[in-house]
Chains A and B, each alone.
Chain A
Amino acid sequence: MPKTPHLEHPDRPWLIRTYSGHSSAQASNALYRRNLASGQTGLSVAFDLPTQTGYDSDHALARGEVGKVGVPICHIDDMATLFDQIPLDQMNTSMTINATAAWLLALYVAAAERQGVRPDTLQGTTQNDIIKEYLSRGTYVFPPEASIRMTSDIVAYTVEEIPKWNPINICSYHLQEAGATPVQEIAFAMANAVAVLDAVRAREDVPEETLGRVFGRISFFLNAGIRFVEETCKCRAMTALWSELGRERYGIEDERMLRFRYGVQVNSLGLSEAQPENNIVRIALEALGVTLSRDARTRSLQLPAWNEALGLPRPWDQQLSLRTQQILAYETDLLEYPDLFEGSHVVEAHTEALLQDARTELQKVLEMGGAVSAVENAYMKQALVESHTLRIRAIERGEQIVVGVNRFKETTDSPLTAQSEGSILKVDDSAEREQVERLQSFRSARNSADAEAALQGIADCLKNGDNILPASIRAAHAGVTTGEWADTLRRLFGEYRAPTGVGAARSISAGEDTDGLRARVEALSETLGRRPKILVGKPGLDGHSNGAEQIAVKARDVGMEVVYDGIRLTPEEIVQSARDEGVHVIGLSILSGSHGVLVRDVLERLNKEGLQGIPVIVGGIIPDDDAAALRAAGVKRIYTPKDFDLSRIMGDIVDIVGEAAP
């Protein structure tokens, strides 16, 4: 009998993480310690949106957002509290932080120094990938050039001073969440890595011989969707393409440096609001896709929760995701074998096919001047919007089956969602008030002369072109706050608004029902005397743009005039646009959970301006009881992820505008 090849020693499992953080440093610290106690082996910190976009908790733009989708960190005391009783020399901490990465890393180093831990022993990751922020994630602040400079500052600093740190985590994860196909995910991520590496290589303080080590410290963060066989192939393709790039473009030969190291969060975009328990199975299968092939296995894994499309997960929901990983790692025999696909010509062939297409696409981006150019000229963003339109159209038409959503929809009542409190985590509104109080007493207790001198130090270092980290670490110790640090940079670099990608996006949403809708829009135009005009607005710090983009493109495709100005506008700006532009309807899209404050703010301003006649509709993650309250406040219609049929939404809009017309 032939002997099955077994590993002599089974592999150690990947790093098991849960992306978490909310309310306050103290509450998140308690959560982290609980998770570590139940067998989690690393930490993955979610920051709230003000922290990610460089505002203190008491800034006007932070209102309603503090502690909502992550932990607020304003200064060194917050950071110290976050890791209280967690020895940082033994922890591996991943921080999802980008525009303000240099600052949060500085706070982390300073907090470690307070614990008596030497920076060169720290292990972990700063996401620090700004390009995908412009393309998908939305927490960018500064223009591309300035941002890339800081990215490379972090790389150059850590490679010498914190050698076990992963200074950057190139994310293709977020690209798939914005609609990317596997080929786009591979190609755009590689183009992104090239932009960073080229910037680092061009630095005078990074000698040629260090480049190999730099290359070796770059890690990736991938997505894994439900087509898990293809996802396995994608991981293998990226592994191959990365070492190819290292060898050919950067002349690196050391095999250890050429290894493709990546972590994964499995796909959330495909997790449904309808029959949410089905997501448990989706998540498990997606986890399989990135662990199955030993040669291309993920180093760390984060799983979303079954109630992803409903709202924030509670501890129990996260525990279920953790257990899913543990079953895969410890109950199954997955870790006992060499690569299962060795010699599989099927997997090889598909991997090769993906590779070829990805090489072509990568070349195209490089030829237009690289990833930064392809951000500025909107090439990549537009490609993502178009891919996402195709995905949604396929779901609408039933060509892409989503069980419980567009097939097998009949269901009995679920005990999981039966509780009245809505089976999600609700962040207490008092969290914001308490955080603001803490911040203000911190500010009044610190030595303000020290803080000011430290800020001046940052301004000087920016002007002189010095590395931003040493000055930032000094500022962290001196009691500078997140908002102050970012404001100093805003003044020098300016703020940036990335292209929305929708303007030139091809019209691919057309279908049979579009013709019918167009006729209705034409008829409505006759009644109105001009074309119906819709403002699609994204108030607040929320960066989730998918829904707004697809609504905007669809509205254009059925013949409406659409004003869409991208993410992160204030209610004031939205109301001003609505008035100047003379729109017939306002559609707000909010997924960050701060709809309560923001929608009311818009409604009040409309009232004050005498524009209450313009109907307002809202879409996003809006729990049922909140929806009722918003309707009572005057919102005409509310849409959530289960309303995936865009044509039906357009039909409603035609009705709503028609009814509002005098």
Chain B
Amino acid sequence: MSQPGRGAVSQILEGLAAGDRTAVSEALNLVDDRRPEQREAALELLDALAQRPTPHTPYRVGITGAPGAGKSSLLNAVVERLRDSVTGIGIIAVDPSSQRSGGALLGDRMRLSGGARESGVFLRSMAARDRLGGLADATQASAAVLSSVFEWVFIETVGIGQSECEVAQLVDTLVFVAQPGAGDTLQFMKAGILELPDLFVVNKSDTGPVAERTRSELQATLGLLGSADEGEWQPPVLLTSARDRQGIDALLEAMAAHQKHARQSGQLEDRRQNGRVNFAVESLARRYGEYGLAQIGGAQAVAQRLAAPSERSAFALVLELGREIESALTRR
């Protein structure tokens, strides 16, 4: 596969417009590339994509939860149900990677059943490690690429805590998948992550009464947290079995309901804006460091610049800000 240089950006764009999977893959390679010259090309690509209207209304869903909770299996069950009714599904699966070697075994594709594989679902696995400081940077860019081609984009991430906050900003709906098992809810509370998800799912309901118990516990805990303001979204707690394909329709309905709510309440726009700021800050900090970022007034200033009405995308702004930082640094 040829590494796209800047000249190749327009070629990739053409390919993406035609829905060509090789172009999708090359675009993902490009936005993941850390070489400075590729970085610029990537931002140009992303900017062009942001300017271009898509034939569909993109919808992004984050799926998160403890290792082995059944996120990938659930995703597979959802995809099986969805695949005939939407125009394209893309998945980003973020796997943890070894601290020591930086290597990673990416195994989520495994869980895609024959049906899901045949239907042309696009899946890219990424290792979390190299995305220093978090996922937002590379994942945001990858999600933008996939959203330009596929109507539904899923982002699967493992773990409880840090990664949720980041994923939350990338997606329209965040689904938290829990394992049946007593005591878990306490952990959720401690980790302080119960505030983020829009939907809770207790998977593996086929394992019996434990699942139902976990669900009520979770519901009770959420009730304690909930400030039941009028018109505010109340995250439901659902029971599913990815294995037996139980509760999948209800999950899809809940997603649809949340999507509608998020659009109408403006929550969606807020989140996307947050996501853009985070992306800009992270990618600038990664490239130029905290010191570089300080040259243009730090994260706060970045947020302001992004909030100002503009014809240009966040990606173009990052390019622009990058140039400002560079010239500030060379002036010294």
Given known contacts A529-B38, A563-B125, A582-B28, A503 and B33 CB-to-CB distance under 8 angstroms: no
B101 interface residue (CB < 8 Å to A): yes
A456 CB within 8 Å of chain B? no
On whether the beta carbons of A530 and B130 are closer than 8 Å, the reply is yes
Q: Could you say which of B104, B111, B124, B243 contacts A582, with CB atoms under 8 Å apart?
A: B124
Interface size on A, residues (CB 8 A): 47
Q: Are A518 and B35 in contact (CB under 8 A)?
A: no
Q: Smallest CB-CB separation from A566: which chain B residue? A: B110
Say whether B106 faces chain A, with CB atoms less than 8 Å apart.
yes
B105 contacts A562, C-beta separation under 8 Å: yes
Q: How many residues belonging to B are interface residues under a CB distance threshold of 8 Å?
A: 39
Flag whether A118 is at the interface (Cβ < 8 A): no
Interface of A is mostly: loop
A561 CB–B CB distance under 8 Å:
yes
- Tell me if B3 is interfacial: C-beta within 8 Å of chain A: yes
Q: Are A503 and B101 in contact (CB under 8 A)?
A: no
Instruction: Say whether B127 contacts A565, CB under 8 Å.
Output: no
Q: Among the listed B24, B34, B124, which residue makes an inter-chain contact with A530, where contact means beta carbons less than 8 Å apart?
A: B34
Residue numbers in A under 8 Å from B106 (CB-CB): 561-564, 581
Q: Which of A250-258, A552-560, A627-635 lies at the interface?
A: A552-560
Tell me how far the C-beta of B324 lies from the nearest C-beta in chain A, rounded to whole angstroms.
Answer: 24
A557 closest partner in B (C-beta): B101
Say whether, besides A531-B130, A576-B117, A582 and B103 are in contact (CB < 8 Å): no
Shortest distance in angstroms between B159's beta carbon and chain A's nearest beta carbon? Answer: 14
Closest to A509 in B: B101
Cβ-based interface call for A577 (8 A): yes
Q: Would A563 and B22 be within 8 Å (CB), given that A611-B1, A614-B1 are in contact?
A: no
| CB contact under 8 A between A503 and B109, given known A531-B102, A613-B1 | no
Interface residues of A in 435-454 (CB under 8 A from B): none
**A661 CB within 8 Å of chain B:** yes
Instruction: Judge whether B103 and A565 touch: CB under 8 Å.
Output: no
CB < 8 Å: which of A518, A573, A580, A613 contacts B2? Answer: A613
Q: How far is the CB of B142 from chain A (nearest CB, A)?
A: 11
- Does chain B have a CB within 8 A of A377? yes
- Decide if B164 is an interface residue (CB 8 Å cutoff): no
Q: How far is the CA of A70 from the CA of B68 in the complex (A)?
A: 37
Min Cβ gap B90→A in Å is 9
Q: Is the C-beta of B263 less than 8 angstroms from some C-beta in chain A?
A: no
A580: chain B residues within 8 A (beta carbon)? 21, 24-25, 122-124
A558 with B101, Cβ < 8 A, contacts A377-B68, A565-B107 known: yes
Q: Is A299 an interface residue (CB 8 A)?
A: no
Verify A503–B25 contact, CB threshold 8 A.
no
In the complex, are the beta carbons of A529 and B109 less than 8 A apart? no
Q: Which residues of A contact B100 (CB under 8 A)?
A: 507, 510
Please name all residues of chain B whose beta carbon is closer than 8 Å to the beta carbon of A564 when the two chains form the complex: 105-107
Residue of A nearest to B38 (CB): A529
Q: A495 at interface (Cβ–Cβ under 8 A)?
A: yes
Question: A465 near B: Cβ within 8 Å?
Answer: no
A529-B35, A661-B3, A662-B3 known; A557-B103 Cβ under 8 A: yes
6 CB-based A-B contacts, threshold 8 Å:
A529-B32, A563-B125, A581-B123, A582-B28, A609-B22, A662-B2
Q: 15 additional contacts, CB 8 Å, given A561-B125, A580-B24? A: A377-B68, A495-B113, A510-B100, A529-B38, A553-B105, A559-B101, A559-B103, A561-B103, A561-B106, A562-B106, A580-B25, A580-B124, A581-B123, A581-B125, A613-B2
Among all A-B residue pairs, the 3 with the closest Cβ atoms: A529-B33, A556-B103, A529-B35
